[in-house]
Structure 1
Amino acid sequence: MSTDTAPGPAPETPDPSRRRGRLRLAAGLTGGAALLAGALFWVSGGWDAWRHDGALDSACDGTLAAGPVRELVGGAEVTADIRRDRIGSWWQCRVTEVDADDADDADDGAGRIDLRVTVSEAGDRLFDIDASRTDAPLGHGWTGGFAFDPDRENADRGDATATLLLDCRGKRGGGLTAEVRARTDRLDFGRPEARARLTAVLTGTATAYARQTGCEAVEGGPVTEVGVSATAWDHEPFGTVSGSCAGIVDAATAGRWGVRTAVETAPGPKPVEGCVLGGLRGAPLYEFTASYGAGLDWATRERLEDRTDDRKGDAPDGGYLLWAACPGGTKRAAYTVSTPGRAYETSELALDHPGLRAALQRFAARSAQAHGCGLPGTGRVYDAG
């Protein structure tokens, strides 16, 4: 048995005008929502944050390593500007916190972020970097050091300095010297990740500046780990040395000299390198220092040049000096050994002058080789820069 079903009403033909109206309404709602979201974004400060964050990508003529800066400062809003001296001997990219009160007085670092990357032509006698033999080497193919004292008080743990020497390929005598100084109470450079990020700010900014100025710099790799400065408290038994003190004197010589301890850094080329050989409790007896390019400050350079002309034969205070010619922007290096306190006190240990000269020669030769410099000698090396 079949049942007939009455046909339903014919499908209603869509009214184009009604459909357009719905589309206009939807578009209006969407546009209103977008405007509302935009207003909320603006009022909440999101626009300023986005604007400041985006501005970092082009900051300091596009040379600032914006990514490492963001990682270093976290969510803080920062801005950057360029500074130069009047005669063009140095260039600086300064990063400071946005809206910090009295930004020009931020040198105290209190409650602020203050990063300064300074770059100079290598050999510029007006610009000496703040480097020490106790700095930790950057490693990873870079010639540079990181200065942070792990024994600092909490208030100073946001202060650190890193230095860098760059050579320019195919540019005779060419190179750059760079350093970054950080002063803030928002960071703790006792943390390894903070040191690695500050180093990335330095290497990234310095190499970008080099490319802009026509210097094809010899670059290293990413710095994933960097140490801290060595201090007098870091002395270790002489028999365990494996870094900057290794191979300077043998065990028999160390015994004759009264050496029982050493303060050293990890091996690696940096602007200033060194080793301190000490007594039982780490008291310094013999200090070896190698200084390269801008790592040799003006006053020390003048004093050593005068000493080169005056010293002949055995030095009563045990202080000896060697020079080496170096490639690229480094130009030259000075290597010294000194005996702290010998000029003012009488020691029970007689100085072994031939042994001191031989030890300095070994220390200098190994360091010079790591920097690609010539064989160190007693003759003065002139620096045309």
Structure 2
Amino acid sequence: MSTETPKRSRRLGLAAALTVGAVLVAGGITWISGAWGEDGALDSACDGTLAAGPLRELVGGAEVTADIRHGRGERWWQCRVSEVDDEEDGGIDLRVTVSDAGERAAPVEADRTDAPLGHGWTGGFSYDPDRAARDRGDAVASVLLACVGKPGKGLVAEVRARTDRLDFGRPEDRARLTAVMTGTATAYARQQGCRVAEGEPVRRVGVSVTAWDHKPFGSVSGSCAGIVDAPTAARWGVRTAVETAADPKLQEGCVLGGLRGAPLYTFTASYGPALDESLRDRLDSLTDRAGDHPDGRYALWSRCDDGVRRAAYDVYASAEGRATSPLALDHPALRAALRRFAERSARAHGCEGPSTEEVDDLG
């Protein structure tokens, strides 16, 4: 992101009259500062796209201001909400960024450990419940919005929040932040002529999983379910798994582990913006390797009609905690497990069946 020179927002609060700030261009970023007053005037913020109702519920009675920013060449659009008096404890910094889902540099931070949004949305929420108390007001969520009737077109949105006023360990705060993101992003999409199929209101969203959240392999019911059968798991030494709910998001994953959760096999599905350049390059190289791969890493590809355009699925064997040599890997069963993982994920996203043939970059 380019270097920025902030324009000081006018003090406003929800009781001042509506004013429109000047436009400042610095480092290729345009800031349009808005100050608005009566409670209802908040609905006009960020060109009328800001999800004012969910925002009010999220920040309570805090006095806030909003800015619109554009990346160089209109590569991304951002609505930023800040607390007026950010010198006091409890300052609010909330940014909803929207960009073309096919953009190589789409600003989205997705991880296989994110909790899926569910409720008909393709997206995830990143919040680690084990973080320090001072960071409990920090969270990131993302969502993919496909343009109905426009194959290959879509937008991706991300919200980043940092505040001392909120605790995203609370389910209601996670749901409210998600509502700000989905409401603002879909309103912006409509302004851009992209009609999206909206999901249902997100009443509850989970938290990120970590290696400490492993469960017995026999109890899996989410992203790890159905990848390998019980005899294969026993032969591989799999006793535990780390998984999320099986709802679609930009990056999905499953980690099969040993008795105390030590990772043995990691499966990942990456869609559109989550398939960054470095990952594409690593997985591209796998297509040129014939036969069994000593490191146990394999990849499959899928073509998608919505904004993600293409997806990649990979598996690799971790050396951590392994008692056997990588040469003892069950390569045919590993490839079959990856295909089952990829097929289920692709169906959930409405993508074509996975193949070893790399899908061209359609961006």
Amino acid at match of 1:68: P
The partner residue of 1:92 within 67, 78, 86 is 78
**Corresponding position of 1:264:** 243
- Distance of 1:150 and 1:52 partners within structure 2: 37
Aligned counterpart, 1:250: 229
Cα offset for 1:129? 1.3
The whole-number CA distance in structure 2 between the counterparts of 1:258 and 1:190 is 34
Amino acid at match of 2:324: S
Residue 162 of structure 2 is matched in structure 1 by 183
Quick one: distance in 2 between partners of 1:230 and 1:120? 27
1:205/1:257 Cα in 2 relative to 1: closer, same or farther (>3 Å)?
same
Quote how far apart the aligned CAs of 1:384 are. 1.8
* Number of corresponding residues: 332
Is residue 327 from structure 1 mapped to residue 305 from structure 2 by the alignment?
Answer: yes
Aligned equivalent of 2:281: 302
Given the superposition, is the C-alpha separation of residues 239 and 133 from structure 1 closer, same or farther in structure 2, using an over 3 Å criterion? same
Q: Which amino acid aligns with 1:326?
A: C
Q: Highest CA radius of gyration, 1 or 2?
A: 1
Task: Give unmatched runs, 5+ long, in structure 2.
Answer: 1-12, 18-35
Task: Provide the residue aligned with 1:151 in structure 2.
Answer: 130
1:290-345 CA-partner distances (Å, limit 9, x unpaired): 0001011221122222332x211100000000000011211000000011237x98
* Alignment partners' CA distance in 1, 2:255 and 2:179: 30
TM-score by length of 1: 0.83
Distance (whole Å) between structure 2 residues aligned to residue 64 and residue 234 of structure 1: 36
Structure 2 partner of 1:24:
none
Do the aligned residues in 1 keep the contact of 2:297 with 2:314 (CA within 8 Å)? yes
Percent of pairs identical after alignment?
A: 70
Paired residues of 1:80 and 1:96 also in contact (CA < 8 A): yes
Matches within 5 A, 1:279-318: 279-308=258-287, 310-318=288-296
CA distance in structure 1 between the partners assigned to 2:185 and 2:247 by the alignment: 20
Decide whether the 8 Å contact of 2:68 with 2:78 is kept in 1.
yes
SS of structure 1 residue aligned to 2:128: coil
Q: Please show how residues 2-41 of structure 1 align to structure 2 within 5 Å.
A: none
SS across alignment from 1:47: coil
The offset of 1:48, in angstroms, is 3.6
**Distance in structure 1 (CA, Å) of the matches to 2:15 and 2:303:** 54
Is 1:79 equivalent to 2:65 in the alignment?
yes
Q: Deviating runs (4+, > 4 A) in structure 1? A: none
1:235-265 deviations in whole A, cap 9, x for unaligned? 0000000010000000000000000000000
Pick the structure with more strand per residue.
Answer: 2
Amino acid of the structure 1 residue aligned with 2:361:
D
TM-score when scaled to structure 2? 0.88
Offset at residue 101 of structure 1 (A): 3.5
Contact 1:128 1:297 in 2 (8 A): no
Residue identity in the other structure for 1:78:
V
Letter of the structure 1 residue corresponding to residue 54 of structure 2: P
Q: Which residue of 1 aligns with 2:339?
A: 361
| Partner-residue secondary structure (3-state), 1:204 | helix
In structure 2, distance between residues paired with 1:202 and 1:46: 21
RMSD of aligned alpha carbons: 1.8
Pair 1:375-2:353 in alignment: yes
Equivalent AA in structure 2 for residue 155 of structure 1: R
Q: What SS class does the counterpart of residue 115 from structure 1 fall into?
A: strand
- 8 A contact 2:128–2:209 mirrored in 1: yes
Contact residue 166 and residue 175 of structure 1 kept, 8 A: yes
How many Å apart are 1:53 and its aligned residue?
A: 3.6
Counterpart check, 1:67 vs 2:53:
yes
Other structure's SS at 1:214 match: coil
Alpha-carbon distance in structure 2 between the residues aligned to 1:254 and 1:203: 39
Does the Cα contact within 8 Å between 1:287 and 1:339 map onto a contact in 2? yes
143-152 or 168-177: bigger deviation: 168-177
Which runs of 5 or more structure 1 residues have no equivalent in the other structure?
1-44, 103-109
Correspondence 1:206 to 2:185: yes
Corresponding residue number in structure 1 for 2:15: 47
* CA distance in 1: counterparts of 2:145 and 2:324, whole angstroms: 43
What is the CA distance between 1:120 and its match in structure 2? 0.3
- Which letter maps to 1:378? T
| Cα distance in 2 between the residues matched to 1:243 and 1:60 | 38
Matched, 1:347 2:324: yes
1:167 corresponds in structure 2 to: 146
Q: Distance in 1 between matches of 2:247 and 2:82?
A: 32
Task: Give me the whole-angstrom Cα distance separating, in 2, the residues matched to 1:381 and 1:318.
Answer: 22
Cα distance change, pair 229–46 in 1 and its aligned pair in 2 (3 A)? closer
Q: Of Structure 1 and Structure 2, which has the larger fraction of its residues in helix?
A: 1
CA distance in 1 between counterparts of 2:239 and 2:306 reads: 39
Q: Deviations over 1:37-57 (max 9, x none)?
A: xxxxxxxx8834981644421
Alignment partner for residue 217 of structure 2, among 238, 248, 258? 238
Q: Which amino acid aligns with 2:304?
A: C
SS at match of 1:51: coil
Matching residue within 43, 51, 54 for 1:57: 43
